[in-house]
């Protein structure tokens, strides 16, 4: 049963100016991701998948086309609007975790709520619930430097979830982890997907992509196949 | 904007790099410290000088008789010029002369007029000034008991005297002395007034007697050695004109060339006062400029270090932006950090500066050149305003840089 699209790309084009060259990074990318899907975006380095991810994450703009996110056209946003949309719609999971090193796990998880103007108490209480959900309640007061890679990524996932986003964007979420930990992280992402949240994983690893319901392959800035 | 959460963020950022925050703060504190100390010292210099002026009315002119250096109407040079009572009366009628007093020197010169004072068995010598009643206003003496000399005292050549509080203390051991008698060089006088003075203590060790009484008692005929008058609220130019008028009148009466520079000596306090005011204004401007330069160095320091901090935090700012921080949130946090740092540091500098000035005021003896170094409230408030603005200025460039951090670039894995 086809679910309504949470995210729709129509003929997205993106250029980069490199010196006097104009690099055509994304060429007429069309894609549609349904609400509650678990999708993998695959491609070799240079295929444009990072650029696509940045556009999906409203971290970067595009030159032509349309990007619809939850029936909202995401185009030519001011930085402030972009920040609000990211905060409301998107949860990020990065390869290198990107936790703030001087903040404890619970403070890191609570950060998106800070930008929503949630009070400190409520924020930290909610953050504790999400830490429990990823199995790290006992580590709440630890700093990232005291944690293993897998634990850090769990904290990052909790942080991505706390703002109740429409989609989770995971950029090589297992790239810095060993295979056992990678499997655990993918289990966690699958679990999140099972709870009804759209998850988009960018990866170049086939076994990671294999856990997705659908794979979007990029090559030279074009969508090669959607299977 | 100034929520507790924001403060927590700001303080924890500053606390993450305590040494750097401290060094930055020192630069600003030093700037304000220097500004305050320099301004305070300038004020001390001005106070000292003004105090030495406050001894006498600042708008007063003194004219002494001298010796002629030019022949006039067949009269030879080196003729001594001494004014007289009629001259005093004539000057009194000159328009623009506000308060006028003549002084007669019992011993012929301005200084060395100490005369023997006796009360019972107690004998000492004090400076005795023979003056007109208006002298009170020229000397800016303040009566604390009784009265100063009056016109009737002069007209009737009464043997009355107004004395300084220390004189009374010395002679009687107390200051309840109105109506008491004392002898000046063997002549009996009655004390009618007790005065004090804002000038230095020497001004209090005086006795005033009517000029007419002194002329009679000390063989003075009708001689008046100095004419002193105030000029009201005239400016420097008008005063110079008035001095010329009075000199012309005296020249006519005493028969000397009006343009003879030696025949009279003029001490124009107003002109001196104006000159000093000008000098101190220039000194103050100079100090302000120097202080401002020091402060600017401090601000540049803050800006620089904040800039480095922003560069170092590029990744953090990128993460925050990805999580939903708006540019304004980032900018205001950094501005608040900068303003807070400068305000605290500046306040410390301000307190340290004022502290040093207080210490100096306490340790240094008061003199004619230096007294009560201080900064007034306006300077304090001004410095606070300057601090707030400089904090914002110092934070502006780093904040703008931070706001422009692209999350894509910041988050790129190296």
CA–CA separation, A58 vs B112, rounded Å?
94
Q: What is the helix (H) or strand (E) element at residue B46, kind and residue range?
A: helix B18-54
Is A115 close to B316, i.e. CB distance below 8 A?
no
Is B16 close to A102, i.e. CB distance below 8 A?
yes
What is the complex's ipTM, to 2 decimals? 0.92
Q: Name B179's Cβ contacts closer than 8 Å, sequence gap at least 6.
A: B190, B191, B192
Q: Name A195's Cβ contacts closer than 8 Å, sequence gap at least 6.
A: none
Q: Name A18's Cβ contacts closer than 8 Å, sequence gap at least 6.
A: none
Write down which residue in B267, B293, B315 finishes a domain. B267
Q: Return the ∠ at Cα B132 (arms to B130 and B134), rounded to 5°.
A: 130
- Among candidate residues B346, B370, B352, B357, the one with its CA nearest the CA of residue B294: B346
Report which of residues B363 and A68 the model is more confident about: A68
Write down which residue in B267, B290, B316 finishes a domain. B267
Query: Over the range A20-50, which residues count as b (16 or more CB within 10 Å of their CB) and which as e?
Result: eeeeebbbebebbbbebbbbbbbbeeebbbb
Task: Please give the pLDDT value at position B36.
Answer: 84
Write down which residue in B213, B233, B267 finishes a domain. B267
CA–CA separation, A65 vs A75, rounded Å?
9
B75 and B48, same domain (yes or no) = no
B80 and B152, same domain (yes or no) = yes
Q: How confident is the model at residue A1 (pLDDT cuts 50, 70, 90)?
A: very low
Asked if residue B185 lies in contact with residue B116, where contact means CB atoms within 8 angstroms, the answer is: yes
Which of B315, B407, B413 is nearest residue A95 as measured by Cβ atoms? B413
Asked if residue B85 lies in contact with residue B222, where contact means CB atoms within 8 angstroms, the answer is: yes
B148 and B47, same domain (yes or no) = no
Task: Please give the pLDDT value at position B374.
Answer: 72
Give me Rg for the CA atoms of chain B.
33
CA dihedral sign of residues B7, B12, B13, B19: positive
Structural domains of chain A ordered from first start = 36-60+78-226 (3.40.50.300)
* SS3 of residue A11 by DSSP: strand
Binding-site residues on chain A for chain B (CB distance < 8 A): 54, 57, 59-60, 79-80, 83-84, 86-88, 92, 94-96, 98-100, 102, 111-112, 114-116, 120, 159, 163
Is A111 close to B323, i.e. CB distance below 8 A?
yes
- Among candidate residues B324, B323, B319, the one with its CA nearest the CA of residue B405: B319
B105 and B243, same domain (yes or no) = yes
User: What range defines the domain where residue B329 resides?
Assistant: 4-53+274-411
- Among candidate residues B124, B213, B136, the one with its CA nearest the CA of residue B173: B124
Q: How many residues does chain A have?
A: 227
Count helices and strands in chain A by DSSP H and E runs: 7, 10
Is B323 close to A115, i.e. CB distance below 8 A?
yes
Asked if residue A165 lies in contact with residue A2, where contact means CB atoms within 8 angstroms, the answer is: no
Is B320 close to A115, i.e. CB distance below 8 A?
yes
Q: How confident is the model at residue A187 (pLDDT cuts 50, 70, 90)?
A: very high
B163 and B243, same domain (yes or no) = yes
Asked if residue A160 lies in contact with residue A91, where contact means CB atoms within 8 angstroms, the answer is: yes
Q: Distance from B335 to chain A by nearest Cα, in Å?
A: 17
Report which of residues B375 and A101 the model is more confident about: A101
- Among candidate residues A29, A30, A64, the one with its CA nearest the CA of residue A48: A29
Q: How many residues does chain B have?
A: 414
Query: How far is residue A149 from each of residues A102, A203, B199, measured CA to CA in Å?
Result: 16, 17, 81
Q: What is the helix (H) or strand (E) element at residue A29, kind and residue range?
A: strand A21-34
DSSP for A97-161, written as a single string: ----TTS-HHHHHHHHHHTTT--HHHHHHHHHHHHHHTT-GGGTT--GGGS-HHHHHHHHHHHHH
Q: Distance from B411 to chain A by nearest Cα, in Å?
A: 8
- As averages over each run of 10 residues, the pLDDT of chain B (414 residues) reads 72 83 85 84 80 74 89 85 90 89 82 84 90 89 91 93 92 90 92 84 87 89 90 85 90 86 86 84 86 81 83 88 90 87 86 87 73 71 77 85 84 68
What are the tokens at A155?
């904290």
Task: Please give the pLDDT value at position B236.
Answer: 83
Asked if residue A66 lies in contact with residue A10, where contact means CB atoms within 8 angstroms, the answer is: yes
Query: How far is residue B360 from each of residues B44, B170, B181, B364, measured CA to CA in Å?
Result: 10, 32, 44, 5
B301 and B206, same domain (yes or no) = no
What are the tokens at B9?
């963020």
B237 and B363, same domain (yes or no) = no
Q: Distance from B383 to chain A by nearest Cα, in Å?
A: 35
- Among candidate residues A147, A115, A119, A145, the one with its CA nearest the CA of residue A131: A147
- Nearest residue of chain A to residue B1 (CA atoms): A117
B345 and B362, same domain (yes or no) = yes
B258 and B286, same domain (yes or no) = no
B218 and B203, same domain (yes or no) = yes
**Contact status of B233 with chain A (Cβ, < 8 Å):** no
Q: Name A130's Cβ contacts closer than 8 Å, sequence gap at least 6.
A: A109, A158, A159, A161, A162
Is B323 close to A87, i.e. CB distance below 8 A?
yes
Task: Please give the pLDDT value at position B1.
Answer: 44
Per the listing, tokens 């101190």 go with: B280
Q: Which contacts of B399-402 are long-range, i.e. CB under 8 A and separated by 24 or more positions?
A: B399/B310, B399/B330, B399/B331, B399/B332, B399/B334, B399/B335, B399/B338, B400/B331, B401/B307, B401/B310, B401/B311, B402/B310, B402/B313, B402/B317, B402/B330, B402/B331, B402/B334
CA–CA separation, A39 vs A42, rounded Å?
10
Report which of residues B17 and A146 the model is more confident about: A146
B70 and B116, same domain (yes or no) = yes
Task: Please give the pLDDT value at position B194.
Answer: 94
A215 by Cβ neighbours in 10 Å (0-12 / 13-18 / 19+) ranks as middle
CA–CA separation, B118 vs B120, rounded Å?
6
Give me the number of domains chain B comprises: 2
In a 13 Å sphere around the CA of B205, the CA atoms on its Cβ side amount to 11
* SS3 of residue B406 by DSSP: coil
B340 and B229, same domain (yes or no) = no
**Which chain B residues are closer than 8 Å to A84 by Cβ?**
324, 326
């Amino acid at each position: 049963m086809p679910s309504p699209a949470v995210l729709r790309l129509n003929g997205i084009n993106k250029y980069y100016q490199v010196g006097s060259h104009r690099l055509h990074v994304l060429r007429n990318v069309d894609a549609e991701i349904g609400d509650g899907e678990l999708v993998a975006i695959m491609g070799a380095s240079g295929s444009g998948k990072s650029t696509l991810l940045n556009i999906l994450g409203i971290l970067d703009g595009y030159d032509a086309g349309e990007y619809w996110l939850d029936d909202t056209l995401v185009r030519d946003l001011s930085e402030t609007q972009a920040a609000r949309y990211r905060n409301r719609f998107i949860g990020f999971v990065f390869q290198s975790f990107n936790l703030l090193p001087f903040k404890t796990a619970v403070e890191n998880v609570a950060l998106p709520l800070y930008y929503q103007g949630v009070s400190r108490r409520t924020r930290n209480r909610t953050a504790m619930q999400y830490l429990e959900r990823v199995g790290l309640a006992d580590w709440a007061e630890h700093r990232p430097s005291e944690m293993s890679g897998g634990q850090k990524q769990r904290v990052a996932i909790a942080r991505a979830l706390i703002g109740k986003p429409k989609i989770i964007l995971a950029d090589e979420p297992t790239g810095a982890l060993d295979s056992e930990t990678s499997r655990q992280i993918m289990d966690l992402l699958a679990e999140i997907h099972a709870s009804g949240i759209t998850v988009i994983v960018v990866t170049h690893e086939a076994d990671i992509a294999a856990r997705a319901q659908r794979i979007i392959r990029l090559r030279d800035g074009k969508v090669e196949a959607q299977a | 904007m100034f929520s507790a959460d924001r403060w927590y963020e700001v303080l924890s950022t500053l606390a993450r790099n305590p040494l750097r925050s401290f060094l930055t703060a020192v630069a600003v504190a030093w700037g304000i410290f220097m500004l305050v100390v320099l301004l305070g010292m300038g004020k001390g210099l001005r106070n000292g000088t003004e105090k030495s002026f406050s001894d006498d009315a600042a708008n007063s002119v003194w004219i002494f008789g001298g010796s002629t250096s030019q022949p006039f109407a067949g009269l030879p040079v080196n003729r001594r010029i001494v004014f007289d009572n009629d001259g005093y009366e004539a000057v009194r009628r000159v328009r623009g002369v506000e308060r006028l007093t003549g002084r007669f020197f019992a011993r012929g010169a301005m200084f060395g007029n100490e005369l023997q004072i006796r009360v019972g068995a107690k004998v000492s010598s004090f400076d005795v000034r023979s003056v007109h009643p208006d002298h009170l206003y020229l000397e800016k003496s303040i009566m604390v008991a009784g009265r100063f000399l009056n016109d009737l005292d002069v007209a009737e050549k009464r043997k009355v005297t107004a004395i300084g509080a220390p004189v009374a203390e010395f002679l009687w051991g107390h200051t309840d002395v109105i109506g008491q008698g004392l002898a000046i060089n063997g002549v009996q006088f009655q004390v009618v007034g007790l005065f004090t003075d804002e000038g230095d203590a020497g001004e209090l060790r005086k006795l005033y007697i009517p000029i007419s009484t002194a002329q009679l008692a000390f063989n003075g005929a009708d001689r008046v050695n100095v004419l002193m008058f105030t000029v009201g609220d005239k400016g420097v130019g008008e005063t110079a004109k008035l001095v010329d008028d009075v000199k012309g009148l005296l020249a006519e009466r005493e028969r000397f060339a009006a343009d003879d520079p030696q025949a009279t000596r003029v001490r124009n306090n107003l002109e001196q006062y104006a000159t000093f005011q000008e000098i101190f204004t220039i000194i103050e401007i100079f100090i302000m400029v120097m202080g401002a330069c020091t402060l600017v160095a401090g601000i540049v320091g803050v800006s620089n270090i904040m800039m480095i901090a922003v560069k170092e935090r590029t990744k953090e700012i990128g993460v925050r932006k990805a999580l939903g921080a708006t540019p304004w949130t980032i900018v205001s946090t950094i501005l608040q950090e900068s303003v807070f740092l400068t305000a605290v540091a500046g306040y410390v500098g301000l307190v340290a500066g004022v502290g040093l000035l207080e210490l100096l005021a306490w340790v240094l003896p008061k003199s004619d050149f230096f007294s009560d170094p201080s900064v007034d409230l306006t300077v304090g408030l001004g410095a606070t305003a300057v601090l707030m603005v400089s904090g914002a200025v110092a934070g502006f460039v780093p904040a703008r840089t931070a706001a422009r951090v692209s999350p894509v670039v910041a988050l790129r894995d190296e």
